[in-house]
């Protein structure tokens, strides 16, 4: 891969693997902002059909002859590559052999965000909700926003917001979910940044919690000196950035929550900030952790120039992200909520909020561990957090990118769970288990393929209610 130039020096962008959710978002940004865009993908999908309808040329056969001559000038064309492309791919070989600049998505995201005012949200937990909340508040307030997010927003049904291309890029507020996985966030140089958490995670990549923390230190060192870091109170990154630091959290910091209560299944509270108090916040997306995320979003949007009133309206109309405290059934006889939590801290925050929302109700949690290494490294934490539920149904580990590790199964979590009732179960047998137990509050938790159970579970519960 050759040294990249500024994004504005390219005329054409060619994508190898254009159909992925992250790659497609960047391709649309380039297309809307006046670049020639085309690409290859192995399989036609609904997403590639949408791109084609918008005017982006895509082909599905690995064939250099199908690359238009527009994209065969190495000076004018940038090639964006997804890791899913095999090493023997002939189009990739063509671009390598002819001296094209070939970059990964994270590198391209770093380059294109240099042209805009960048707000980056990092953290091992909370970054998807917080970044999508920031993007929504800005857009709801009429600002020119581009956003590259890690989840599908309920307000816009996309992980991507397009800026108005008629305005100068430096006037665009760009919100990016800054992902620590594989150190991708080190391509970014933010004007404003939020760090929500630095807990040990992705130890298959980092090796230790110390290395995770070091990577976050490297990230905050890249915030522009005249910028601001909004740091969750208690995190130890203060001496690793030249940017101004403002602290926040639920309970303490320059920005924090006051008078939090639960009414009508919503978290209602005020946000205290250095210049005053913003009252009458009413979150549609419940949870103590989401109230804290709202404080971070409030702080960064205030710094970006919005008024407290604009921010409050944005927060109060924010509908969340798919698979983050997402309701699938709300009925007097049964509640069903799904959440993406896959780290003990996230599981604890989610279950504590569920218990607070529905005091006295029996909570059944179905959990699918994600990754053998994460299960091995955090087995005690998972058992402790899951034990907040009255009943736990524990599934097998979802392996994702990993091969099995001898001796590491969900049993090592199961044996440590202290809930009143616990059941081990295959994913295919979940409905059979549910038929044997009473349900008041049911939650599914995990980042693997547990989401394939959502519709069958909802249909089952709706059938049970209708049959009474």
pLDDT tens readout for residues 346-358:
999 999 999 999 9
Q: Is the pLDDT of residue 103 over 90?
A: yes
Report the pLDDT value the prediction gives residue 369, as an integer from 0 to 100.
Answer: 96
- Across the range 80-108, mean pLDDT stands at 93
Helical H runs in 358-421?
372-377, 379-386, 411-414
* Average pLDDT over all residues of the chain: 92
Mean pLDDT of 442-465: 94
% of the chain at pLDDT higher than 90? 77
Mean pLDDT of 146-163: 90
- Note the Cα 377 to chain centre separation in Å: 22
- Confidence (pLDDT) at 449: 92
- Cα–Cα distances (Å) from 445 to 32, 52, 325, 401, 419, in that order, read 37, 35, 10, 19, 16
The answer, yes or no, to whether residue 38 has pLDDT greater than 80, is yes
- Which residue would you say has higher pLDDT here, 210 or 441? 441
Evaluate if residue 432 carries a pLDDT over 60.
yes
Token output for 358: 């529905």
Higher pLDDT, 322 or 271: 271
Cβ burial, residue 341 (10 Å; 0-12/13-18/19+): buried
Which numeric CATH code is attached to 116-316? 3.40.1190.10
pLDDT for 66: 96
Residue 1's pLDDT is 45
* pLDDT (mean) for 146-164: 90
Q: Answer yes or no: same fold for 116-316 and 326-466.
A: no
Residue 2 has pLDDT above 60, yes or no: no
Q: State the pTM of this model.
A: 0.84
Tokens describing residue 270: 């005020």
Q: Which CATH superfamily is domain 7-105 in?
A: NAD(P)-binding Rossmann-like Domain (3.40.50.720)
For the segment 170-229, what is each residue's pLDDT rounded down to a tens digit?
A: 899 999 999 887 788 899 999 999 999 887 665 566 667 678 888 899 999 999 999 999
**pLDDT digit string (tens) for 411-423?**
999 999 999 999 9
Q: What is the mean pLDDT of residues 55-59?
A: 97
Least confident of 3-17, 199-213, 278-292: 199-213
The CATH number of domain 326-466, selected from 3.40.50.1370, 3.40.640.10, 3.90.190.20, 3.10.310.10: 3.90.190.20
Residue 466: predicted pLDDT: 86
pLDDT at residue 207, as a whole number: 62
Q: Sheet holding 57-59: strands in order across?
A: 57-59, 36-40, 12-16, 77-81, 101-104
Domains in the chain: boundaries? 7-105, 116-316, 326-466
């Amino acid at each position: 891969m050759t040294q990249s130039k500024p994004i504005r020096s390219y005329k054409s962008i060619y994508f190898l693997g254009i159909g992925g959710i992250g790659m497609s978002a960047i391709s649309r940004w380039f297309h809307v902002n006046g670049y020639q865009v085309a690409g290859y993908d192995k399989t036609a999908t609904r997403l590639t059909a949408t791109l084609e309808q918008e005017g982006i040329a895509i082909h599905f056969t690995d064939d250099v002859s199908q690359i238009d001559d527009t994209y065969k000038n190495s000076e004018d064309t940038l090639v964006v590559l997804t890791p899913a492309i095999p090493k023997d791919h002939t189009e990739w070989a063509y671009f390598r052999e002819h001296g094209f600049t070939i970059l990964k998505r994270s590198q391209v995201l770093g380059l294109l965000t240099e042209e805009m005012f960048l707000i980056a949200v990092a953290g091992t937990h909370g970054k998807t909700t917080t970044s999508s909340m920031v993007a929504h508040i800005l857009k709801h307030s009429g600002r020119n926003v581009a956003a590259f997010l890690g989840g599908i927003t309920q307000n816009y049904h996309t992980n991507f917001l397009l800026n108005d291309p008629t305005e100068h890029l430096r006037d665009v507020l760009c919100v990016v979910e800054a992902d620590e996985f594989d150190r991708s966030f080190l391509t970014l140089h933010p004007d404003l940044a939020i760090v929500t958490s630095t807990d040990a995670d992705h130890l298959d990549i980092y090796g230790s919690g110390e290395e995770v923390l070091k990577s976050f230190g490297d990230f905050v060192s890249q915030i522009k000196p005249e910028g601001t870091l909004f740091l969750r109170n208690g995190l130890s990154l203060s001496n690793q950035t030249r940017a101004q630091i403002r602290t926040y959290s639920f309970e303490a910091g320059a920005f924090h929550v006051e008078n939090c209560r639960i009414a009508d299944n919503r978290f209602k509270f005020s946000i205290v900030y250095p210049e005053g108090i913003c009252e009458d916040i009413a979150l549609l997306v419940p949870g103590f952790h989401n109230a804290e995320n709202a404080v971070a979003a409030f702080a960064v949007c205030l710094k970006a120039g919005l008024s407290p009133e604009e921010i409050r309206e944005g927060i109060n109309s924010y509908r969340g992200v798919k698979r983050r405290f997402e309701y699938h059934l709300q009925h007097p006889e049964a509640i069903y909520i799904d959440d993406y939590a896959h780290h003990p801290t996230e599981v604890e925050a989610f279950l504590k909020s569920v218990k607070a929302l529905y005091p006295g109700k029996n909570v059944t949690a179905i959990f699918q561990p994600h990754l053998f290494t994460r299960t091995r490294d955090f087995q005690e934490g998972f058992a402790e957090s899951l034990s907040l539920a009255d009943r736990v149904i524990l599934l097998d580990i979802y392996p994702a990118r990993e091969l099995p590790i001898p001796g590491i199964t969900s049993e090592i979590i199961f044996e440590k769970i202290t809930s009143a009732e616990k059941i081990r179960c295959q994913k295919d047998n979940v409905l059979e288990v549910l038929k044997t137990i009473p349900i008041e509050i049911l939650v599914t938790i995990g980042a693997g393929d547990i989401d394939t159970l959502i519709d069958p579970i909802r249909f089952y519960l709706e059938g049970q209610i209708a049959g009474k």
